[in-house]
Structure 1
Amino acid sequence: MSESVLKTSEDKMSKTIDSLQRELASIRTGAANSSMLDRVNVDYYGAPTPLNQLASITVPEARMIVVTPYDKSSVDSVLKAIQMADLGVNPTSDGTLIRITVPQLTEERRKEFVKDARKEGENAKVAIRNVRRDSNDELKASEKDGNISEDELRSLTDDVQKLTDKYIAEIDKICDAKEQDILAV
């Protein structure tokens, strides 16, 4: 029973790290990256649809993204959705495909993106701490019910804390790497 609490905690913490990496991938760095468009939803026949389901997204050059809609009649709605997404880019269309030139980031904009990355990191740390709290509560309830002893409770809460420390250190490492990526000119 107590081992399942640790396993569940580790699974939840691992999923938090995966979620953080997805969020950080959508934060723009100086180079073009197709994951910048992950949060773009297109109004396609009245239904909000993720852009990557409506179009092929390629990165032919370091500063350019090419979006080729599968349905040529949706080019205008895709173009409008990219403009409305407030990505700091200006897409252009030739009627069949959309080119997005990624401008060089200014120092001020880079610092804003670093703040966004740090905020995502803090959100992930809060999620990890919530998992720790839930696990400790579950262990305390188990001890209260007589399923584990007080010594086992202390040992298991120490194990949960070690897991928490490990994942928080990993979050710091991921955020530091993203910050270096953003600040690289």
Structure 2
Amino acid sequence: MVNSFIKTTEEKMKKSVEKIAEELKHLRTGRATPAVLEEIKIDYYGVPTPVLQVAQVTTEERQLVIKPWERNLLNVIEKAILASDLGLTPVNDGTVVRINFPTPTTEQRQKWVKKAKEIVEEGKVAVRNIRRDILKDIKDKKKAGEISEDDEKRLEKEIQNLTDKYVAELDKLFEKKEKEIMEF
């Protein structure tokens, strides 16, 4: 039972970190990358379908080129990109949709870094909440006499170590994203 606390805690914390890493992946960095289109869906014969599944997306310099497999999807893709909250302006030239990524200003980059910091901070709060909940469970088990005081102290220490490990991992994710945003 003692190991189940550790295992459960680690699984939950790992999932939280993975979720934050996924959110950071979708944060704009000023680079032309197909990842920014992952969340954009279009109506493809009545089924919401990601743009990346109905078109070939390539990068050229500071531009994304979206070439749909069916020409009638050009306008649909263009409208979906405009409707998204990415702040991108697509250009439909009749055969492909192009999205230009202008060089971001320092102010824009600072905003993106701030947003990344907020996302990472949410992750840290989630990890700490997991720690709090598990420690409460441990204290309840101790009061009920299901675990000894030594086990309680050992578990508290191990859970704190896990918390520190995953908070440090989140910090590394932030540093990596900040570097990615600020380099140009």
TM-score when normalising by structure 2: 0.91
Alignment of 1:155-170 (within 5 A): 155-170=154-169
1-side partners of 2:56 and 2:145: how far apart?
58
Contact 1:2 1:139 in 2 (8 A): no
Aligned AA for 2:58?
A: T
| Unpaired segments ≥5 residues, structure 1 | none
* Cα distance change on mapping 1:139 and 1:75 into 2, 3 Å: same
Taking the TM superposition and a 5 Å limit, the aligned residue runs for 1:63-82 are 63-82=62-81
Match of 1:119 in 2: 118
List structure 1 runs of 4+ shifted beyond 4 angstroms. Answer: none
- 1:168 alignment partner AA: V
Closer, same or farther in 2 for the Cα pair 1:138/1:55, shift >3 Å? farther
Q: 2:44 is aligned with what amino acid?
A: Y
Partner of 2:147: 148
Structure 1 residue aligned with 2:40: 40
1:94 to 2:86 alignment: no
Alignment check: 8 A CA contact 1:89 1:103 kept: no
Q: Which amino acid aligns with 1:21?
A: A
- Determine the C-alpha separation between the residues in 2 that align with 1:96 and 1:8: 51
Moved more, 69-78 or 154-163: 69-78
Once residues 108 and 142 of structure 1 are traced to their aligned partners in structure 2, the CA distance between those partners, rounded to angstroms, is 51
Q: 1:145 to 1:52 in 2, by over 3 A?
A: farther
1:4 aligns with 2:4: yes
Q: How large is the Cα RMSD of the aligned pairs?
A: 1.7
Q: CA deviation at 1:46?
A: 4.7
Q: Which amino acid aligns with 1:44?
A: Y
For these two proteins, the number of residue pairs brought into alignment is 184
Secondary structure at 2:49 match in 1: strand
Residue 47 (structure 1) shift: 4.5
Residue 149 of structure 1 deviates from its aligned partner by 0.4
Distance apart, 1:26 and its partner CA: 1.1
- For 2:57, the equivalent position in structure 1 comes to 57
Aligned mates of 2:24, 2:150 — CA distance in 1: 40
What does the per-residue CA deviation read over 1:56-110, in whole Å, with 9 as the maximum and x for residues that have no partner?
Answer: 3222x23111222233222211111111213233211223321111111011111
Give the Å deviation of 1:112: 0.9
Q: Which amino acid aligns with 2:33?
A: N
The Cα of 1:122 is off from its aligned counterpart by 0.6
- For 2:67, what is the secondary structure of its paired residue? strand
Aligned twin of 1:184:
183
Q: Distance in 2 between matches of 1:128 and 1:108?
A: 30
Q: Determine what percentage of the aligned residue pairs are the same residue.
A: 42
* One-letter amino acid of the counterpart of residue 67, structure 2: T
Paired with 1:150 and 1:71, the residues of 2 have a C-alpha distance of 66
1:155 Cα offset (Å): 1.1
Q: How big is the shift at 1:184?
A: 1.3
Q: Does the 8 Å CA contact 1:6/1:135 hold for their aligned counterparts?
A: no
Question: Secondary structure at 1:92's aligned position in 2?
Answer: strand
Q: TM-score, normalised by structure 1?
A: 0.91
